[in-house]
Structure 1
Amino acid sequence: MRKRVVITGMGAVSPLGNNVPEMSEHAFAGVCGIGEITSFDASGHKVSVAAEVKDFDPSAYFDKMEARRTARFTQFAVAASMEAFRQSGLDMEKEDSVRCSVYLSSGIGGLGIIEREHSRGQKRGFDMVSPLFVPMAITNMAAGLTAIRLGFRGSCNCIVTACASASNAIGEAFHALRDGYADVILAGGTESCITELGIGGFTSMRALSEAKDPARASIPFDKERAGFVMGEGAGVLMMETYDHAVARGAEILGEIVGYGASCDAHHMTAPREDGEGAADAMCLAMEDAAVSPQEIGYINAHGTGTPLNDRCETRAVRKAFGEAAEDLVMSSTKSMMGHALGASGGLESILTVEALRKQMAPPTINYQVPDPDCDLDIAPGKAKAFQGEYAMSNSLGFGGHNASLVFRRAE
């Protein structure tokens, strides 16, 4: 018998705030978290703006030794996970720790550590790099250290599907809970790649916006869009079976009811022009949730701000939703937070749950020039009310990875 799966905790580190209440307040107010890069001297680079996490203090979560031994993406993950854990009210003395799992993804992992240790190896010899280089840099370490911190001894996974990573992690966790493989799963994603190599790599492939004005850099669905803005952060959900949550008297923040995943099988980086792969994921998610397109009130779009993505995602939504697309509100919170790569699906899932709770879609800010190829209601400029019991979050990654999640408003 399939089990209902609910959300009892959420945690975030983001360019809009280092906890969920702050991030949510700023997102629905339309605050822009994009600014000049401060993590390195970007004055000689084509790209000089990004959506950095601000005022993050690792000492709130790690002692000095631990902080030196953990990469920034792992620190974000632990911080967000502890917030979600505290909100959930879980008492591990009363839990079977083997029935508690972690599905925490990252698209790239410790890129900054790789850069630092490569430079050290060139100067001092590669036998002299840090003995902690490998455990600090590997992509799964955020999941591993989070499991250690929480005492979760069940399956510990790190799904790597580029920009769809966090959404795939949440979706796979949902199915594992629904089918009885765990009672509790902490799921989401984390990323920190605002480095010289990270920015340079995406710049050279012409994926990033080179705009100097932060207010015109990340402009999803705008006709003048010219690339995405790099973001960073972590977003996680504490998910558990409905019966388990009710039995311990937990507050239920929302419910996850559908998950669809597909592959374009088309191109290394470009989506299918017709949007068919993304449409497949959306249709599969609605089928999994047993809901019709008419029942979805809001979509948190992948909405990167690249010319191809936004056009193809619009086509995909029209293909999946048919006439119901005319009644949807679909916004891109990347207009405020940039694109956090493997963490984006986690952060955007949180804001989708918040949208259902508020019955309000966060805005697509800094939108000015309409594009006839992107003609859906994108809540331009300010948050927009909607009515609906269900909402969707989309993530589309390099390699053709597509993931869609359907959430239900808490009863």
Structure 2
Amino acid sequence: MRSAFVIKSSLAQKFSLLNFILFYCDIVKLKEFSEIAFRIKLDRGVGGASFAGECKEFHAEEFLDKKILSRYDRMFHFFISVALLTAETSGFKTKSIKDPFRFSIIGASAIGCPSSFEQNYEMLISKGPKKVSPFCIINLAGNPVAGQVARIFNARGPQYFLQEACAAGTKAIGLAMKLIQMEIIDIAMVIGADAGITPTIIASLDNIGAIATDKANTQPKKASRPFDRLRCGFVPSEGAGCVIIEAYEHALKRGATPLVEIAGFGATCDAYHPTAPEPEALSIVECMRKALQDARVSPEEIDYINAHGTSTVLNDLTETIAIKSFFKEHAYRIPISSNKSMIGHMWGAAGIVETIFSAKTILEGIIPPTINLENPDPACDLDYVANKARKKNVKIVLKNSFGFGGINASLVLKRI
């Protein structure tokens, strides 16, 4: 049974099809964060970190009532709002689903709700236990947000909520695909959201040396520079993405227009280190091999790779090693790019947002660039579509995502 990526996310409509600049997330210095996004005053310090991506155009009150706004975390706000906006802009109607027990909500988030923990811990210390919100535990669990969306859309099929680091969104799409192929469900709304740009998270990332700081970058827009010789860490961002994936035949019956086919999925684990990738990239190679095998395509048929491309020294090098190891000489003929160069790293939402980019690449025939690639790295010597979008007839895309804990996931998307 084929699984089709049927309905584009609202986020996909936020970027220009001509230059692929995404306006939904703005990379700024921490001191420029709005109060609602950063929550805790910055005068306490967040180490040497200087940059993060904030969704300044997002106004939750446009989608959610006051109870939801006051009780739930910003991640919940993103998650629910993007689902509502996707349904609205695509014309998705619950009544088009004949069997609600074959309709699932599958969620993804790497960090969950850190601001809720920070705020409630602050309240506990300063004002005592009675001032801790009764909704704190719901926020910290994370998965109840998928239940909220299920209630809105009457989705009574099996519900999943993956907190599998930065590969969570990609694995959520792969899970939906497999549930459809196994004929357990007909349709899934797959949603990824993260708002992990709080002081504690930023400080921890800075202390392990994972993120870009002002020690090496002076311009926020140039802080994320995947595959560049001067890269020094990723730029954490907040945001959300939503796609609707369903059986091809089911989509046609309810009058939906399929956009691309989710043709293959692969997943592996490095079994190596909590944060660092395995140097020889053996598990990443196997992950890509599994995805292509599942899609029944050869390495030579891949027209474009949407890379994980975080802008960290080790990730970009290891992904390059894996691509060269698996694709051999063809690796030098495949255009590769990282969306994170433009929008930062949206954690668990990244895989879904980047799958939307990948689908648009197939539909529009324009490959988004890797911006800020100004200083070539001799060890990263592939075609990363540096700085300028490229027109190309793309039929098949490989999308990679990797995460802390050695989690690897790859998808193959095909033109229908």
Q: Give yes or no for the alignment of 1:23 onto 2:29.
A: no
| Amino acid aligned to 1:35 | V
Deviation larger for 312-321 or 113-122: 312-321
Q: How far off its partner does 1:138 sit?
A: 1.9
Who is 1:4 aligned against? 2
Q: Which amino acid aligns with 1:67?
A: L
Q: Which residue of 1 aligns with 2:74?
A: 72
Moved more, 226-235 or 146-155: 146-155
Partner of 2:126: 123
How far, CA to CA, are the matches of 1:23 and 1:121 in structure 2? 42
Pairing of 1:135-284 with structure 2 (within 5 A): 135-210=138-213, 211-284=217-290
1:321-352 deviation per Cα after TM superposition (whole angstroms, max 9, x unaligned): 12221111110110111111111101101101
- 2:29 aligned with 1:36: yes
Select which of 306, 323, 326 maps to 2:329: 323
Q: Is the 8 A contact 2:146 2:159 kept in 1?
A: yes
Following superposition of structure 1 onto structure 2, how do residues 284-299 of structure 1 map, counting pairs within 5 Å?
284-299=290-305
**Are residues 30 and 77 of structure 1, via their aligned partners in 2, closer, same or farther at CA, if it must alter by over 3 Å?**
closer
2:373 corresponds to 1:370: no
Deviations 1:243-268 (A, max 9, x none): 01111221111110000000001111
Letter in 1 for 2:378: P
2: CA distance between counterparts of 1:352 and 1:141?
Answer: 29
Matched, 1:398 2:400: no
1:49 to 45, 48, 51: 51
| Cα drift, residue 42 of structure 1 | 4.5
Contact 1:221-1:374 at 8 Å conserved across structures: yes
Would the aligned equivalents of 2:50 and 2:212 in 1 still touch at CA under 8 Å? Answer: no
Once residues 72 and 149 of structure 1 are traced to their aligned partners in structure 2, the CA distance between those partners, rounded to angstroms, is 18
TM-score by length of 1: 0.94
Asked if structure 2 preserves the Cα contact closer than 8 Å seen for 1:228 and 1:305, the reply is: yes
How far the C-alpha of 1:34 sits from its partner, in A, is 1.3
Q: CA–CA distance in 2 between the matches of 1:132 and 1:313? A: 40
Q: What's the CA shift for 1:112?
A: 0.4
- Structure 1 residues 341, 85: CA separation in 2 closer, same or farther (over 3 Å shift)? same
For the residues of structure 1 that align with 2:354 and 2:399, how far apart are their CA atoms? 7
In the TM superposition, residue 11 of structure 1 has moved relative to its aligned partner by 2.1
Give the corresponding residue for 1:15. none
Residue type of the alignment partner of 1:223: R
What is the rounded CA distance, in whole Å, between the counterparts of 1:214 and 1:42 in structure 2? 18
Q: Distance in 2 between matches of 1:360 and 1:281?
A: 26
State how many pairs are aligned: 402
Task: Select the residue among 67, 91, 94 that pairs with 2:93.
Answer: 91
- CA–CA distance in structure 2, aligned partners of residues 373 and 353 of structure 1: 29
- Unmatched tracts of structure 2, length 5 or more: none
User: Which runs of no fewer than 5 residues in structure 1 stay unpaired?
Assistant: 13-18
Amino acid of the structure 2 residue aligned with 1:149: I
C-alpha separation in 1, matches of 2:91 and 2:300: 35
The one-letter code matched in structure 2 to 1:132 is F
Evaluate the alpha carbon distance shift between residue 79 and residue 123 of structure 1 in structure 2; reply closer, same or farther with a 3 A threshold.
same
Does structure 2 retain, via aligned residues, the 8 Å contact 1:42–1:48? no
Superposed CA deviations along residues 214-234 of structure 1, whole A, max 9, x for unmatched, are: 133110000000000011111
| Distance (Å, rounded) in 1 between the aligned partners of 2:21 and 2:241 | 19
Q: Tell me whether 1:382 sits opposite 2:375 in the alignment.
A: no
3-state SS of paired residue (1:102): strand
2-side partners of 1:11 and 1:128: how far apart?
38
Output the aligned Cα RMSD.
1.7
Classify 1:105/1:10 alpha carbon distance in 2 versus 1 (closer, same or farther; 3 Å): same
1:102 and 2:105 correspond? yes
TM-score by length of 2: 0.93
Structure 1 counterpart of 2:114: 111
Q: 1:406 to 1:27 in 2, by over 3 A?
A: farther
Judge conservation of contact 1:333–1:362 (CA < 8 Å) in 2.
yes
AA aligned to 1:243 is E
Bigger Cα displacement from structure 2, 202-211 vs 316-325: 316-325
More displaced, 190-199 or 78-87? 78-87
Asked whether the 8 Å contact 1:188–1:345 carries over to 2, the reply is no
> Per the alignment, in what secondary structure is the counterpart of residue 402 of structure 2?
strand
With 91-100 and 170-179 compared, the bigger mean Cα shift is at: 91-100
Note the alpha carbon deviations across 1:273-309, whole angstroms, 9 max, x for none. 1111111111100000000111111111100001000
Tell me if the contact between 1:279 and 1:317 (Cα under 8 Å) persists in the aligned partners: yes
Percent identity reads 37
